[in-house]
Structure 1
Amino acid sequence: MANAKQQENLLLTEHFTWPPISLLDEIINTVNEVLYKCTDTLESGLSSADPAVLGFAQKYAAENRVVEKDEDGRQVYPDAKLEIEEGILKLETLMEGAVDKNFDRLEIWTLRNVLCLPQDVGEWVRLGHYENLTIPPDNPSITPESLNALRRKLVETQKLHTALLAEKTRNDAQIQRLRSLLQPSPGTKCEPRSSTSPSNPAQANGNAPFAFLTHTPAAQ
C-alpha cells in the first residue's frame, strides 16, 4: 500500500494532470539548454578571435617559442584551439555543477513548501471531478476475473462497433453509386425513343445508363 507521501503525489498528479516533479525537471532542462547555448556561443566567439589577442602571443614569448606562420604569412598558434576547447569544457562542467547544486535545493524546497499538501489534509481532499459521485456498495460477486472479462467484452464490442461503422460507410457509398446509375443528371429528360433517337439508352443518358428503367414514361 502506498505511504502518505506517495498518496500525496498521486493526488497532486491527478489534480494537475502531470507529476509535480515534471515541472521542476522542465525548469532544470530549460536552464541547462540556456547554459549549453551560452558555452557554445562563447566557444564560437573565442575560436573566431585572433589567438594573439587572447594572450597566446605573450605565452609563446614567455616560453621562448617560435610562432609558426601559414602560407599567407599569418601567425598560427596550434595550441589555441585545444586550449579553448579544454577551457570551455571545464567551464561547462563548473556551471553544470553549480546548476545541479542550486536547483537541487530549489527542487527540495519546492516539493516541501509549494507542490505539497498540509499534513493530514490529503485524506480530506476531494477533487472537482469527484463531486456528486455515487460510490456503489461493495459487491462480493465482482472479482478481478469478472472485471477482466467485462473489459475484454468491452474491447471486442468497440472493435465490432468500428467494423460496423466501416461497413455502413461502404454500403452508403455503394448505394450512392447504384443511385447514380438510375438517376439522370439535372437537365436531362428521358423521352420516348423515336426513329431518330439513339438506339442505345446508355448513349442518351451517359451519366446514368440505367435511368430509362425508372424515368421513362414506359417505366412509369
Structure 2
Amino acid sequence: MAFSEAGPSQQTKQVHHLLLPEILGFSPQLLLDDIINIANNAVQDGVTGMEEFLEKWVEARAQRQTDDWDSTQEVEQGLVAFQTLLEHHTDIAFDFFEAWCLRNIFAIPPGLPIVVPHQQNLDLTQPPEREQELLDELDELRKQLDRLIRYEQQRKLRRMYLHALKASERQRKHEEAKLERLSILKSPSLDILGALPAKFIAMYNAVAGLPPLDTSNVNSLAHDPGKRQWETSATGYKNWAVAQLLDRAESGGAGGKSVVDTLMERVHEVGRAEQLRMAVEAMEGVRADLDAVDSSQVEAMEE
C-alpha cells in the first residue's frame, strides 16, 4: 500500500520537474551552474590577488633583510593551501545552496495542480485508441497535403511548359522569317549574276576591239528605225543629201566601182566579221542571263 502511494508521488515530482523549465522559460540547473561558476571565478581572482601581494611582500622583505631565506617554496605552499581551502569551502557551501534552491525555490508542491498556459482546455484523459485514431487522421491529412503539393507542382510545371512552348513557337517563326529573307542567297539567279561580270568584261573587250566608227555612218544610223533618214528631221535630210553626194563623187572618181565593193568597204569600216560575231555573242549571252534572273525573280514572287 505504501509502495502504491509512493509511485504516483514520485511520478508527479518527475512531471513537475519536467514542466518547470517549460513554465519558467529556462532551466534552473543552468542558472545555478552559472552562479557557481561566478563564485569559482571570484575564488580564483582572490587567489591571484593573494599571489601578487605575496610576491611584492617577498621582494620588499628581501630588500630590508640580508639573510639567505628562500621564500619561493614557502610562498607556493601557502598559496596552494590557501586555494585548496577556499575551493573546499566554496564547493561545500554551494552544494548546500544548489540543493536548497532545488528543494525550496525551484520546486512545485506535489499537491499543487499545474496547468501550463498553452495546455489549457486540453483533455489528457483520452484512451490510447483515440490517440491512434488521431495519429491515423494526421497521417491521412499529411498524405492529402503531399498530394496537393504534387498537384500544384504539376500545374506549375505545366504552366512553365506551355509558356516555354509558346516562346519556342515565337522563336521558330522569327527564325523561319529570317531564313526566308536569307533564302535569296540560295537562288539560282545568284550563280547567273556571279557570271555576269566576266561576260560584261568579255563584251567590253569585244566591242573595244572594233575600229572607231565614221561620223557619217553613225549619223546615218541615228534616225528612227521606222523612218528613213530624210524623213526624221531637217538635220537628217541634210546628212542624207551630203552622204548621197559623197557617194556619187567617190563612185565617179573610182572609175566605176561596183555596189558590192562599196558595201564591203562600209562593213570593214565597222569591223571584221569575226569581231562583230564575238560582240554580238557577248551581248546575247548577257541578255540571256538577265532574262533568266528576271524570270527567277518573277517565279519567286508568285510562290
TM-score of the superposition, structure 2-length normalised?
A: 0.37
Higher relative contact order (CA 8 A, sep 6+): 2
TM-score of the superposition, structure 1-length normalised?
A: 0.49
Higher Cα radius of gyration: 2
Q: Which has the higher helix share?
A: 2
